[in-house]
Structure 1
Amino acid sequence: MRALLYTIDFALKALLRQKTKNLSIVALFGLIVFLFSGIDFMSNALYHETLKALAFQPSLIIQDVRAGRQVPISLAHVEDIAQIPGVSSVKGRVWGYYFDPFTGANYTIVGDSEDLTELWDLRVISPEPAPSDAGTQPIKGGEALVGEGVIKLRRTRVGGVLNFQDYAGHPVPLKVRGTFSSSVSLWAHDLILLTEEDARRLFGLDPGSAWDLAVYVPNEFEVPKVGEKILRIIPGARVIATNQLKRTYGSSYGFRSGLVLSLNMTCLLAFLILAYDRVASPSQEEQREIAILKATGWQTSDVIRLNMLQSLILSLTGFLVGVVASYCHVFIAGAPLLRIVFAGWSVLYPPHPIPPSFDISKVFGLMFLTVVPYIAVGILPVWRAAVRDPEEVFRS
């Protein structure tokens, strides 16, 4: 144990003699790890948030499509779909996106005042005294529950008024009754919850239609068959299953992460150059140090072990710096360099921190793909220098 500590101390002092070179290696190594781990952190966190949100979604979403575009669907189909064996309930959903010209943000507006807990696990936060079942207490007409992002962006507060316009340009004042928190904060951050009547008024949706239908099927194995029967009732409808959404989001985030990785190929090239520098012959100063160690009684295996320890210190330091910086950038700062690529065009500003989702196996995988090769490529050139006669090195 004491010999190992002496070796570590010697390796650190040897690295400190070449501060500029070794610090540049750590910085470059950390930059590479920062970029690649940041992409992985971002895509993994967004995908996990999506899976959490989809857990609160219905088994099937039915949309009416005309000329390739979604249009409001008639509520007359609700009763027919409810009669299909395996369907527990059918509900028409009134929701949509509202562009706020004052802030340039897109809000998600949902008309649902009956059961807030079914909508992304919402928990109402209101200054008014609330009973134990406040999470299911309906809001009144002219009132709104808003996400934390809307409060910050509009610089309002609970009890304030949001002035919107309906589809015809008529003013729609909404009193902020309260805000809410959710375990799916990424989706609920820009959410505005209204009564169904206010949402219909805002979007110009008549009482006999909805934007889509939510179909709940308790047995997931019956979902495909139920979807086929719905298509017989509503020919030309678009039937979207939750499993399809999971695959779609997974492919989308995978594609976006691959796109960013391809743009960072220059960093990968820099890493290859760094590895090549390790494969090349050691400098004259390094060869002279190795010769001195051999002349003082060090064995070839001792020299190789020392070099591997130095490589481990450099690469592991750079790796830890890159991972910690990437974690802070994504989960604390809100990933300003990556968010626009992954979150899409409908980002609510200012961005909020992304809920951490840390996969330790991927971190170890990245370490195996970066630290281990960096250590391995330095063994052969050091062995070549260590087997040379020290006297020959001194003469040259």
Structure 2
Amino acid sequence: MLANRHLPMAIWAAREIQRHPGRALLLFAALASLVFLTATHLLFSQALDTTWARLMQNAPDLVVRRVDSGGWASLPIDTGLSAARGVPGVIGLTPRLWGVVSGPEGPVTVVTAGSLPDSSLLDGIAPPAAGQAVVGQGVSPTLPGNRLTLTARAAIAVEITGRFPPDTSLATVDLVWLTEKDARRLLGIPSGQASDLAVRLFRREEEQAIQADLAAAMPWPVRITDRSTSALRYHTRAVQTGASTMLAVIPCLLALLLIVTAVIAENRGQLARQGLLKAMGWTTADIVRMQLFKALIVALPALLVGLATAYGMVFWPPLAGVTAMWITGGTHLPALALDGHGAGLILLEMTAMVGLPYLAAVFLTTLRGAANDPGSALQAGPWN
């Protein structure tokens, strides 16, 4: 019943739009572009923060690295484990073997099974055998037969037998997973030594307090990094991205102001036509309803197109890496998959931020114009 009541008015509004198709297309493009640019930046900042937070959930509570006068140094595994076990609150210790080496297109991070940032990354992936490697989405082979050349203390060529899932790209894009033997030969770290020590605590909230006891227990100088500090560092990067996003939003808001101003000017130019409609028996409510239908016929598709395009640019893996390069000015992350938690709220906020001022401008200017006396409105002109 409600649809039958409003359908004739919607058809009339569509015919009114056809009188000026170029104006309608220009308004459609302006609204869609405004929503797309603003929503893309806001969605990317939110998705970056959410994805990093998810990946950090299973990270070690503390990471202990040995230092000497030359910088980082490998640590003896047995000595490190023995010292750390005596610290109250420590419930898990994992010696990790990893390092940064030269890859075909720049530095890559070599890891072994115990050195991955999240053990769940191993799910469904066959571990590499000697001479094989599992790599991130950003690592490309350079030799025939899908073989990869790596160089550090030694040079080795390994066959790529698998890749980490796209939804872990933020943590694994430059990772190369090797067997322990291949990693030790490449990094020059002898058996019985590790790059660092990953520590699990009985209470995560004690990660700050326990660092002094853990450092004192070690027989050599160490540097300890806690999970909260690492998470804060990633959160800060997302916030900085969000700050640059706000700089992009400012011109978008100015564009919205121009659109609203154009709508007000257009409605003022239709006073004579509204006066004619009232002289034919239309009520003020009819005219306002028709103008709102005209606005919705243009605005709703524009908002949907802008929001859908922005969502695809951020959460569709083939395009998300391009978006990351565009917004951060960094490198392309192929098949980047970001966490979409919280995206719906941002889409609703964008719809309200753009749609409500636009509809309010249409409603108020139409109401003011349609309330005039039909005779004076007919004399006002011009006709549009």
Instruction: Specify whether residues 53 and 228 from structure 1 end up closer, same or farther in structure 2 by C-alpha distance, changes over 3 A only.
Output: same
* Aligned-partner Cα distance in 2 for 1:281–1:350: 45
Instruction: Specify whether residues 148 and 336 from structure 1 end up closer, same or farther in structure 2 by C-alpha distance, changes over 3 A only.
Output: closer
Alignment deviations for residues 265-301 of structure 1 (CA, whole Å, 9 cap, x no partner): 33332221112223447343x2222112211222223
* Aligned-partner Cα distance in 2 for 1:228–1:344: 39
Q: Give the residue type in structure 2 aligned to 1:172.
A: I
Which TM-score applies when normalising by structure 2?
0.85
Task: Give unpaired runs (5+ residues) of structure 2.
Answer: none
Superposed CA RMSD in Å reads: 3.0
Alignment match, 2:109: 108
Instruction: Specify whether residues 16 and 32 from structure 1 end up closer, same or farther in structure 2 by C-alpha distance, changes over 3 A only.
Output: same
* Aligned-partner Cα distance in 2 for 1:395–1:354: 60
* Aligned-partner Cα distance in 1 for 2:166–2:249: 35
* Aligned-partner Cα distance in 2 for 1:59–1:305: 60
* Aligned-partner Cα distance in 1 for 2:28–2:71: 53
Deviation at 1:317, TM superposition (A): 1.9
Instruction: Specify whether residues 18 and 224 from structure 1 end up closer, same or farther in structure 2 by C-alpha distance, changes over 3 A only.
Output: same
* Aligned-partner Cα distance in 1 for 2:295–2:162: 56
Q: Given that residues 142 and 174 in structure 1 are in contact (C-alpha distance below 8 angstroms), is that contact kept between their aligned partners in structure 2?
A: yes
Aligned match for 1:154, one of 137, 141, 160: 141
Alignment match, 2:16: 14
Q: Given that residues 27 and 318 in structure 1 are in contact (C-alpha distance below 8 angstroms), is that contact kept between their aligned partners in structure 2?
A: yes
Aligned match for 2:363, one of 379, 383, 386: 379
* Aligned-partner Cα distance in 1 for 2:203–2:311: 39
Q: Given that residues 122 and 181 in structure 1 are in contact (C-alpha distance below 8 angstroms), is that contact kept between their aligned partners in structure 2?
A: no
- Is the partner of 2:65 in helix, strand or coil? strand
Alignment match, 1:340: 325
- Is the partner of 2:281 in helix, strand or coil? coil
* Aligned-partner Cα distance in 1 for 2:155–2:282: 85
Matches within 5 A, 1:346-361: 347=331, 351-355=334-338, 357=340, 359-361=343-345
* Aligned-partner Cα distance in 2 for 1:179–1:262: 37
Verify: 1:92 aligned to 2:92, yes or no.
Answer: no
Q: Give the residue type in structure 1 aligned to 2:183.
A: A
* Aligned-partner Cα distance in 2 for 1:196–1:351: 27
* Aligned-partner Cα distance in 2 for 1:144–1:7: 65
Q: Given that residues 166 and 201 in structure 1 are in contact (C-alpha distance below 8 angstroms), is that contact kept between their aligned partners in structure 2?
A: no
Instruction: Specify whether residues 65 and 298 from structure 1 end up closer, same or farther in structure 2 by C-alpha distance, changes over 3 A only.
Output: farther
Matches within 5 A, 1:188-267: 188-207=172-191, 209-233=193-217, 237-267=222-252
Q: Given that residues 74 and 189 in structure 2 are in contact (C-alpha distance below 8 angstroms), is that contact kept between their aligned partners in structure 1?
A: no
Alignment match, 1:31: 33
Instruction: Specify whether residues 14 and 337 from structure 1 end up closer, same or farther in structure 2 by C-alpha distance, changes over 3 A only.
Output: farther
- Is the partner of 2:349 in helix, strand or coil? helix
Alignment deviations for residues 236-292 of structure 1 (CA, whole Å, 9 cap, x no partner): 7443322332232222112113214314533332221112223447343x2222112
* Aligned-partner Cα distance in 1 for 2:58–2:212: 23
Number of equivalences: 373
Alignment match, 1:273: 258
Q: Given that residues 147 and 180 in structure 1 are in contact (C-alpha distance below 8 angstroms), is that contact kept between their aligned partners in structure 2?
A: yes
Deviation at 1:183, TM superposition (A): 5.2
* Aligned-partner Cα distance in 1 for 2:141–2:98: 21
* Aligned-partner Cα distance in 1 for 2:71–2:48: 26
Deviation at 1:85, TM superposition (A): 1.7
Instruction: Specify whether residues 390 and 213 from structure 1 end up closer, same or farther in structure 2 by C-alpha distance, changes over 3 A only.
Output: same
- Larger % of helix: which? 2
Matches within 5 A, 1:102-181: 102=104, 104-112=105-113, 119-125=119-125, 139-150=128-139, 153-154=140-141, 160-167=146-153, 170-181=154-165
Alignment match, 1:130: none
Deviation at 1:29, TM superposition (A): 0.9
Q: Give the residue type in structure 1 aligned to 2:208.
A: P
Instruction: Specify whether residues 390 and 82 from structure 1 end up closer, same or farther in structure 2 by C-alpha distance, changes over 3 A only.
Output: same
- Is the partner of 1:99 in helix, strand or coil? strand
Aligned match for 2:85, one of 72, 82, 87: 82
Q: Give the residue type in structure 1 aligned to 2:276.
A: I
Task: Give unpaired runs (5+ residues) of structure 1.
Answer: 126-134
Q: Give the residue type in structure 2 aligned to 1:240.
A: T
Alignment match, 1:308: 292
Alignment deviations for residues 336-385 of structure 1 (CA, whole Å, 9 cap, x no partner): 6531256674x4x5622424615211211111111111111223322221
- Is the partner of 1:90 in helix, strand or coil? strand
Q: Given that residues 111 and 200 in structure 1 are in contact (C-alpha distance below 8 angstroms), is that contact kept between their aligned partners in structure 2?
A: no
Deviation at 1:323, TM superposition (A): 0.9
* Aligned-partner Cα distance in 2 for 1:339–1:238: 32
